[in-house]
Structure 1
Amino acid sequence: MRRAYSGRAAEYTELLGGIEHTARADRDYVAAWAKSVDGPIVDVGCGPGQWTHFLAELGSDIVGIDPVPAFIAEARARYGASRFRAGDAETLGVSDGSLVGVLAWYSLIHEEPSSIGAAFTSIARALKPGGTVLLGFFDGDARTPFSHAVATAYFWSEEALGEELEKAGLRVREAVRRQDPGARPHGALIAQKVGLD
């Protein structure tokens, strides 16, 4: 996956690297979540940095991380005022319990279903009790692979993701689904670290 994105980072950035390429409903939803987060956020799999920059402009204390060096370079070139560094869901590069929010907007879609639990465990470890993670995903028959433009990706359902998150100590608090014309079904959910109700 990393190699596939590395080879197409410039093309991806040109086509999808601006916040204007995202759906208004998604921008509103992510912004509302971010405004509820009072403290540090990590944007996991930030790609060319559009979501990191968007939330930083809204006042969030956020850093974008990505395992693809070419994406980090693109993000820094485009959004120099925002913060970016190398990393992924398993290596967030923060102290345990130091985050209040994690954004994983379509950044875990390529994770093998058998290993997504490791990503959630890492995220849970980094969150303070009561902290939240916002996930964006393709809604469908859970764990079913499909041909994505860059690398194999997987459909998930709210129920299946909820089970995986629960194992890591994260409880689904809210979930939404949407079907836009000409696009795969969209899903998003917010899960909270167990320990503060």
Structure 2
Amino acid sequence: MTDETRIAYDTVAEAYAELLHDHLDGSPWDRSMLTTLAELVGTAGPVGDLGCGPGRLTGHLAGLGLDVFGVDLSPGMIAVARRTHPGLRFEVGSLEVLDLEDGSLAGALAWYSLIHTPPARLPRVAAELARVLAPGGCLLTAFQVGDERRHITHAYGHDVSIEAFRLRPEHVTEWLTDAGLVLEAQLVRQPQPPHEKTPQAYLLAKKPG
């Protein structure tokens, strides 16, 4: 499934970046949550945008004053991110095995980057996110709410083959707390048409210390 996800996002990278480049302009909830993360982290240390895609949120967080870099599974997405944000660092990598030192991040963003991992493997991802956070570090994650597994065959104008999972906030909270993080805040909002069909969740968790 990892290869399937990589291939799909390599295929749509250019179209994805073009279609979503100004998406934050119409998403006050998204901007508010990202600003909250930026205010909580401040100048405490580096922030990883983990599952950064073409770097649109990496660039936004940099504009909010954070020392931020991006990691994504898709080389195609990373190529777009490097071209679009030449002053920022982007690396190819997997959320399940991050090439980062223990406790090296003051903050982490997992923005719709958990949704292609089967739920049975998400406790491992949660443990990896917790591992790379420094004591006192913050994690912000966002995802679609639900229980469904969907097979996507067309996205951003391209034929693809990829699995996507909607998640329950209580399940994600359980995985994060089992990994040693403490839930600080949870927000579930209604979908914003025409692009969203399900409620969207944001969870903010912190590593004790």
| TM-score between both structures, scaled by the size of structure 1 | 0.91
| C-alpha distance 80-18 of structure 1, shift in aligned 2 (>3 A) | farther
1:112 equivalent in structure 2: 118
From 182, 186, 192, the equivalent of 2:200 is 186
Asked whether the 8 Å contact 1:19–1:50 carries over to 2, the reply is no
Give the match's secondary structure for 2:120. Answer: coil
Q: What letter matches 2:188 in structure 1?
A: R
**How far, CA to CA, are the matches of 2:110 and 2:37 in structure 1?**
12
**How far, CA to CA, are the matches of 1:9 and 1:158 in structure 2?**
28
From 129, 152, 155, the equivalent of 2:135 is 129
Q: What letter matches 1:42 in structure 2?
A: G
CA shift, 1:18, in A, is 4.0
1:152 equivalent in structure 2: 163
**How far, CA to CA, are the matches of 1:18 and 1:80 in structure 2?**
18
Q: What letter matches 2:39 in structure 1?
A: K
**How far, CA to CA, are the matches of 2:92 and 2:166 in structure 1?**
26
C-alpha deviations, 1:150-187, integer Å up to 9, x for none? Answer: 62211112211111112211121110011133222110
Q: What letter matches 1:175 in structure 2?
A: Q
2:106 equivalent in structure 1: 100
CA shift, 1:98, in A, is 1.1
Range with greater deviation from structure 2 (48-57 or 165-174): 165-174
From 167, 172, 178, the equivalent of 2:183 is 172
1:82 equivalent in structure 2: 88
Do residues 8 (structure 1) and 22 (structure 2) align?
no
RMSD (CA atoms) = 1.6
Q: What letter matches 1:191 in structure 2?
A: A
Range with greater deviation from structure 2 (7-16 or 94-103): 7-16
**How far, CA to CA, are the matches of 1:162 and 1:175 in structure 2?**
9
Q: What letter matches 1:119 in structure 2?
A: V
C-alpha deviations, 1:129-151, integer Å up to 9, x for none? Answer: 2211100010123xx31244462
CA shift, 1:95, in A, is 0.9
Ranges in structure 1 where 5+ consecutive residues have no aligned partner: none
Range with greater deviation from structure 2 (96-105 or 165-174): 165-174
CA shift, 1:90, in A, is 2.1
**How far, CA to CA, are the matches of 2:59 and 2:23 in structure 1?**
9
1:35 equivalent in structure 2: 39
Q: What letter matches 2:72 in structure 1?
A: D
Asked whether the 8 Å contact 2:24–2:30 carries over to 1, the reply is no
CA shift, 1:20, in A, is 4.1
Please identify runs of 4+ aligned residues in structure 1 that moved more than 3 A: 17-22, 147-150
The number of equivalent residue pairs is: 193
